[in-house]
Structure 1
Amino acid sequence: MVQKNILTFPTIPEPALSRSWETAWEKVPAEWQEPVYRLDRAPNNRVFVRNSNYLYSNKTYDYRTGHTLADQELAWYIYTIWSEGTLKVDPAMLRWYVTSTQALIDRQPAEMRDTYSLANIEPYMLIKEAARAFYERNERYPSPNNLKNVESIAKNLYQHLTVRCSDTPWYEHDVWNMRLDSRIPRRENEPHAERVISLEQLTQTWLKEAARFWFSQALTYGYYTWTSVASRVTYLNYFSRFLATYEHTPATLGESLGSIRKLTTAFTDYLKNPVEGCHENALSETTIGSVTSTLQRFYEFAYENKDLITETTHTEAWLNLTADHTRLFPTYRRKKKGKAHPVTFFTSDELTLMLAHLDVLKTPMTQQVTVQTPGAEPATFTGLGDEQAARAWMIQALTGRRASEILMMDYQPLTMLDVDPEKIQEDSFIARMTYQQTKVDGVEPTILVDVAVVNIIKEQQAYVEEKYPGLEHPYLFPNPRANFTGSRPRSYRSYADTLKRLDATVKLTNKAGEPLRFSQTHRLRHTRATELLNNGVPVHVVQRYLGHRSPEMTMRYAETLAATAEAEFLRYKKVGSDGRDLGLSAKDLLEISQLDHRADRILPNGYCMLPPTQTCDKGNACLPCGAFATDASYIQEHRDQLTRLEALIEARKNQYKARRGEDMPETNVWLTGRLREKASLEAIITKLENEAAQNKAVSGAGTSGRVALTLLTNPAKNGTSPIVQPNLRTQR
């Protein structure tokens, strides 16, 4: 049954002040109202990039076009990016932009030139003129990089004017930019506010306008987050490019269910095969599923709201939608959700190796650093010069927080606890850290942190104070680029790009030869969760610490921990007291040791396989016992025990001879028992040293002819409850 999505048209509250050009121009101070600048003096030197052809000398640079409105708009733009500290401009590229703009305006009728707005010059028009003028002057076309630089100025200025200086509702623009338009609905702490959404690639008007309505509704009423809308726009772009290969495809896609299915089947095949100019490689099943489900969801919404969409888009075809459009794809194509991806984490050795190489990220780019790790030759690297990224990574490793939760933290995230300074130890909790919860609602975003985390945060605060002196600091991790006042948090893309450069520089691998990537920051969260569970922290406490709304996600880490413990247990072959293989499978042996949680079954040198209903009457005489089992993980303990036993035998023999004047006979009761223990230890050590580890059972120890034990399972417990019964056949 289709979920109802009937909505009313969104009522977007208008800002208190008009967004018209007149209002914007009134905010520009008198000293900024002419596009004439001294590049070597404050405040202009903060908005212009240093260019060797524009020396910082006693010279004024004039960027006026000679046309009143265009000059005012250019001056407003330069003032805006200076006051917000978001961008810098290359003076040479700005000169190129101005001369191209002047040429375009000069072609207009004389009476229109002084009132001609730069908002009328779309970026593609300016780029075309800039390339033409360059070719006319140099008899060659400009380099792609230079053309891209002047295009960047044209796009930014155009978007600033069309968004900031007009009363057009935010959703009527083809480009949605949270940084430019404060009217766009958003979460309180949007972790991907730097991401820009563009509807320009939806080339079919009916598709673009309907998608505009759908996504504006979703953002206004909170059905989708900003990142969800961005992903769905990308998915609809595939459909738009596919429709471009068909002529006159209507919004209904066809006149019957058969014709609709024919089109959507062709679309699915289109996604599965590489298409030049669209996707060079075949898309994964997951991506294809996301694309088709987005298209299905879009048509379900359109069907339930076809009257509103028709009124909004002025496309009558939407009225012809039927229930057939709620099942674009056959149900058999919809695969059940597979098992969740396994939780992966870094081992302690891997984490130690990565932390040793984190110095490469901290070191300035003008210096080199040598890293020494155990068992490896010293390696020298050129620094990457991003110490705040290194601190963010370390806080993630120590706390298990998500990257966005750390990058968007307030400048002062700590609340110190009332702790006696004299009693503080290295691992003591001394503060409560407030992070930015960006994924799950209804979770208290605070955790206890120890001395190490507090010290890292204080180092980062000192770094911010030094880089942005005398300014307010809203964020602990300010964005390193286009952020000259430190007012914007570091973007995830900037952080991820830096870590990827570190990966490419150090190229770390684990013992299996698989790459260890700093950029896989979510594995740090898995690592911390597994560490907490491994230390016996209750699941509900770990759930609270990780910020999970329900215990289901937390239990994934518990399952991974159990799987890891099982894999570690099964690595080793189990042998009995006389060194012979046990007659139990390794998995059965694991179940016995886990299901019977008695401390007396875990021995210093192995395991006690005595049935749960029986009690031990041998004291500490485990080696001669047939219920004793061990594996290669205890081999050093066996060697040490053998050394101690040999020393004990030799000492007792010497005492016996000193007292009686003769050697201790082999028939001595005490010596007989010790020699039997020695033989058992030697057999165990020889077996474990000579045989390669195999994932199978090893037979029980004890004397020859003993009644062997066979492991059975109880069907009522799905084969998980071990029942031990005697085997009637006697070993020969």
Structure 2
Amino acid sequence: MAGDRTRGLRPAGDEDPVWRLWRALPEPWRGAVIGPGVEGWENITENIDYKLNLTGLPELIQAEMAWMAHWQATDGTRASVLALSQLANILRRAIRDHHPFPPSLRQMDWEAASALQTWFYTTRWGRFPSAGVRARLRVVFRFARTALIAACHEGPWWELDYWHPRCDPRIPLSSREPMAHYGCTLTLITHPWLREAVKWCLGTLLEAGTLRWTTVSQERLRCLHRFDRWLQIAFDNPLDVLGDPTSAAGQAAAFRRWLADPANRCDPGKPRRMATKVAPRLINDDLRAVGELFEFMAANHDEAGRVLGPLAAPWARVTAAHAASWFRQVSRIPHERLLNDEHYVDDRALGQITAALPLLGLPKDQQMPITRSDGQAVTADGMDDPQAMRMILLQILTGRRSSEIRLCDFDCLSAPTDRAVEAAEGEDIARFRYAQSKIDIAPDTILVDSEVVAIIEEQQRWVRARLPGVAPKHLFVQLLGNRSGVKPYPSGTYNWRLREFSSLVRITDGKERPVQLSHTHRFRHTKLTRLAELGLPIHVLQRYAGHATPSMSMHYIAHREEHAEQAFLATRKLKADGTTIVFSRDDHDRLHLFDRADRFLPHGWCLLPPLQTCDKGNSCLTCSVFVTDDTHTQTLARQLEETEALIHRTATAFLQRHGRPMPDDNVWLAQRHAERAALQRLLTALEAKPGRACQGAGCPTTPATGPVPITLQRPGTPQ
């Protein structure tokens, strides 16, 4: 691989580290011919009858190739015996013909190996190697050689130019982080002074637990790669970005404008489907990445010289003012809830999905008729991926993230507590432990019903049949290169499979919008929305979602107009005259009754719009927007009895203390008399019209009055 560093491979005066690795190999792997005597060779090699012949090669290369073959076997893939044997033949011919080649495979990158392979084929057979032959050898240099370099490297792991946790176990992964089967290439950053600083910064933050591997490899490094590309375009001398702190604000603003162009987010030569607009959050991520790098280097000036050597000199000019200028360009994004159902999968779309899902698990030699959303009937070939079918079913039924299903343990079911079994009232339930990897403090178990249990048990039987004699680590497994069963189903394969399925079935929702199954987070929104619509308390919803805060759970709830109207109609009440209280959609939008728990009273309901405030205190009984019905009769009767008893008790105490009755115009007594009268009017109205609600029945009635005669006096006339 181009740009691999060899610093730290062999300290001066010591033996080559590869001999330490070679001595640790089992005895059958240390011979010139590897194969005879190796236990389980038929399961390790890709060709049972083929042996790995290393005779005639330099001893150092023999040791390297033996270790690489053994690493492939322990990694769970089959040892690339054919590719390594071909490489051995190429090197033996190069030795015979005195054709130069590097003295070590660690110093032979893929370009050099490909050139040797081309020379071998053209000189021996007069043709170029086929694409399949090149790909076979490429696998050896992609993973096995990377693991060899990492195992021989005696410096910090972050000094290497290619990071891959699968090949380098020194790279820290959090306990809840998914097993990473992807790496990142640091040589994408072309400026050496920037690349070495990025390695040191990201490596330190990873070891400290400040960042996770997923964030570094999938996000942070890409942000800094874009920064490196911008430096080439924006400056004649890219080191000027480390110069005068007063210029940092303008430079950060220029970088922000450059990031706002969607074309600049794609790597040159790699065309992708570009969006019409770059989200502010993505721009902020790039600005924060640069600001944090500047902040790290400014805080570690003294140590930078020892760690980076001469490449630390340009960073000596960086101060905290540089970092502050870049951080100030991070825009504030209002956290406003999107009151729509954009991420909600309605019943129409779910019906189409579940009807066509068997196609995912159907063998390729079988066909199945499906009806697309436009009514077109087609016959499609099976996609032969029952694992993807079960994963999407579990996401729909449980609302878990795709990684939480894809990476869950094989033995993920356990018995529920006795209290849970009692509450289930005879329904079969179990506790499902999913792969919670996003929030450390969040729970990682939920209760599931018999339907989910059946899907999981079916998948367990399928894995046992595919991997006999193996104790798989994950419920959903990688099918190729996974002899030991430790590798999970690849995320890229899952997304690709769902994209193919979506394009074939062409699912649309009730608003004729296309539904892409590769956006599986929509099923999480859907599940949480439906639980909320069933009246699940927010703290229970938060526990089920596995969120750290209730506000995050509420972010997932879709505001569906039809559910809001149905829920409000369920609270329909009647006026005192027996007519229905009618609300238009505008009235409903203003009231938001179900969003205001303070409008539910112990003895009725308050119909005051939530944007208005109430200054009546405890005078609901005599309020015109107070509604009650016969379900509150006992409460109102008890309140009337207690009010009369309170009046009698207080009046008696007043008489005993003052020697005279409490006057009727006493403020306290007048209020209690008004409450008693209102309660009597309410009970009378409910008794007169049983089964109907009454609005404003407690208000005092004002007798109608006729016209009042008055005398108008003309100006200037005597009175």
Q: How far apart are the structure 1 equivalents of 2:374 and 2:231? A: 59
Counterpart amino acid of 2:540? V
Q: How far apart are the structure 2 equivalents of 1:168 and 1:401? A: 40
Q: Deviations over 1:623-660 (max 9, x none)?
A: xxxxxxxxxxxxxxxxxxxxxxxxxxxxxxxxxxxxxx
Q: How far apart are the structure 2 equivalents of 1:283 and 1:90? A: 49
Deviation, 1:318, is: 1.7
Counterpart amino acid of 1:240? D
* Structure 2 counterpart SS, 1:455: helix
Deviation, 1:42, is: 8.6
| Equivalent position to 1:77, from 55, 68, 76 | 68
* Structure 1 counterpart SS, 2:626: coil
Q: Deviations over 1:700-732 (max 9, x none)?
A: xxxxxxxxx9xxxxxxxxxxxxxxxxxxxxxxx
| Equivalent position to 2:295, from 284, 293, 300 | 300
Q: How far apart are the structure 1 equivalents of 2:183 and 2:352? A: 37
Aligned to 2:397: 398
Deviation, 1:271, is: 3.4
Q: Does structure 1 residue 126 correspond to structure 2 residue 120? A: no
Q: How far apart are the structure 2 equivalents of 1:422 and 1:434? A: 17
Conserved? CA contact 2:434–2:444, under 8 Å: yes
Aligned to 2:190: 203
* Structure 1 counterpart SS, 2:65: helix
Deviation, 1:178, is: 0.8
Instruction: List aligned pairs for 1:705-724, cutoff 5 A.
Output: none
Conserved? CA contact 2:249–2:326, under 8 Å: yes
Q: Does structure 1 residue 32 correspond to structure 2 residue 26? A: no
Q: How far apart are the structure 2 equivalents of 1:72 and 1:511? A: 64
Conserved? CA contact 2:400–2:524, under 8 Å: yes
Conserved? CA contact 2:28–2:35, under 8 Å: no
| Equivalent position to 1:98, from 88, 92, 95 | 88
Aligned to 2:278: 284
Q: How far apart are the structure 2 equivalents of 1:320 and 1:298? A: 14
Deviation, 1:36, is: 4.7
Q: Does structure 1 residue 317 correspond to structure 2 residue 314? A: yes
- Higher mean C-alpha displacement, 393-402 vs 73-82: 73-82
Conserved? CA contact 1:396–1:403, under 8 Å: yes
Q: How far apart are the structure 2 equivalents of 1:192 and 1:479? A: 12
Aligned to 1:632: none
Counterpart amino acid of 2:278? S
Q: Deviations over 1:198-247 (max 9, x none)?
A: 21111211111111111111111111111111111111111222333477
Instruction: List aligned pairs for 1:499-648, cutoff 5 A.
Output: 499-558=498-557, 560-561=558-559, 565-566=563-564, 586-591=585-590, 612-613=625-626
Q: How far apart are the structure 2 equivalents of 1:473 and 1:616? A: 61
Q: How far apart are the structure 2 equivalents of 1:44 and 1:474? A: 23
Q: How far apart are the structure 1 equivalents of 2:314 and 2:464? A: 59
Conserved? CA contact 2:252–2:329, under 8 Å: no
* Structure 1 counterpart SS, 2:177: coil
Q: Does structure 1 residue 483 correspond to structure 2 residue 482? A: yes
Deviation, 1:166, is: 3.8
Q: How far apart are the structure 1 equivalents of 2:63 and 2:538? A: 62
Conserved? CA contact 1:540–1:551, under 8 Å: yes
Q: CA RMSD in A?
A: 4.1
Deviation, 1:101, is: 4.0
Aligned to 1:326: 323
Counterpart amino acid of 1:586? R
Deviation, 1:563, is: 5.3
Counterpart amino acid of 1:565? H
Q: Measured at CA, do residues 390 and 424 of structure 1 come closer, stay the same or move farther in structure 2, by a change above 3 Å?
A: farther
Deviation, 1:462, is: 0.7
Counterpart amino acid of 2:74? S
* Structure 1 counterpart SS, 2:438: coil
Conserved? CA contact 1:97–1:154, under 8 Å: no
Stretches of structure 1 lacking an aligned partner (at least 5 in a row): 1-17, 51-55, 577-581, 602-609, 618-708, 710-732
Q: How far apart are the structure 1 equivalents of 2:473 and 2:408? A: 9
Aligned to 1:703: none
Aligned to 2:164: 177
Q: Deviations over 1:557-586 (max 9, x none)?
A: 44x246563478999xx9x9xxxxx99752
Aligned to 1:462: 461
Conserved? CA contact 2:173–2:213, under 8 Å: yes
Stretches of structure 2 lacking an aligned partner (at least 5 in a row): 1-14, 575-580, 606-622, 631-694, 696-719
Q: How far apart are the structure 2 equivalents of 1:330 and 1:538? A: 39
Q: Deviations over 1:159-206 (max 9, x none)?
A: 121112343331121111111222211111322511212211112111
Q: How far apart are the structure 2 equivalents of 1:589 and 1:255? A: 60
**Number of residue-to-residue matches in the alignment:** 575
Q: Measured at CA, do residues 208 and 108 of structure 1 come closer, stay the same or move farther in structure 2, by a change above 3 Å?
A: farther
Q: How far apart are the structure 2 equivalents of 1:301 and 1:564? A: 52
Conserved? CA contact 2:50–2:81, under 8 Å: no
Aligned to 2:203: 216
Q: Does structure 1 residue 154 correspond to structure 2 residue 141? A: yes
Q: Deviations over 1:397-454 (max 9, x none)?
A: 1111111112222211111247799999999252111122101112221111111111
Aligned to 1:387: 386
Q: TM-score, normalised by structure 1?
A: 0.69
Conserved? CA contact 2:295–2:319, under 8 Å: no
Aligned to 2:155: 168
Q: Measured at CA, do residues 19 and 197 of structure 1 come closer, stay the same or move farther in structure 2, by a change above 3 Å?
A: farther
Q: Measured at CA, do residues 478 and 543 of structure 1 come closer, stay the same or move farther in structure 2, by a change above 3 Å?
A: same
Q: Does structure 1 residue 350 correspond to structure 2 residue 349? A: yes
Aligned to 2:700: none
Conserved? CA contact 1:569–1:590, under 8 Å: no
Q: Deviations over 1:512-554 (max 9, x none)?
A: 3322222121111111111111111111111111111111111
Conserved? CA contact 1:185–1:220, under 8 Å: yes
Counterpart amino acid of 1:301? F
Conserved? CA contact 1:175–1:199, under 8 Å: yes
Q: Measured at CA, do residues 19 and 597 of structure 1 come closer, stay the same or move farther in structure 2, by a change above 3 Å?
A: farther
Deviation, 1:499, is: 1.7
Q: Measured at CA, do residues 612 and 447 of structure 1 come closer, stay the same or move farther in structure 2, by a change above 3 Å?
A: same
Q: Measured at CA, do residues 372 and 104 of structure 1 come closer, stay the same or move farther in structure 2, by a change above 3 Å?
A: same
Conserved? CA contact 1:251–1:318, under 8 Å: no
Q: How far apart are the structure 1 equivalents of 2:366 and 2:81? A: 28
Q: Measured at CA, do residues 461 and 208 of structure 1 come closer, stay the same or move farther in structure 2, by a change above 3 Å?
A: same
Percent identity of the aligned residues?
25
Q: Measured at CA, do residues 22 and 139 of structure 1 come closer, stay the same or move farther in structure 2, by a change above 3 Å?
A: closer
Conserved? CA contact 1:118–1:158, under 8 Å: yes
Q: How far apart are the structure 2 equivalents of 1:409 and 1:188? A: 13
Q: Deviations over 1:231-279 (max 9, x none)?
A: 1111111122233347773656253245445544554444344368267
Deviation, 1:337, is: 4.3
Q: How far apart are the structure 2 equivalents of 1:497 and 1:19? A: 44
Q: How far apart are the structure 2 equivalents of 1:369 and 1:245? A: 54
Q: How far apart are the structure 2 equivalents of 1:235 and 1:374? A: 40
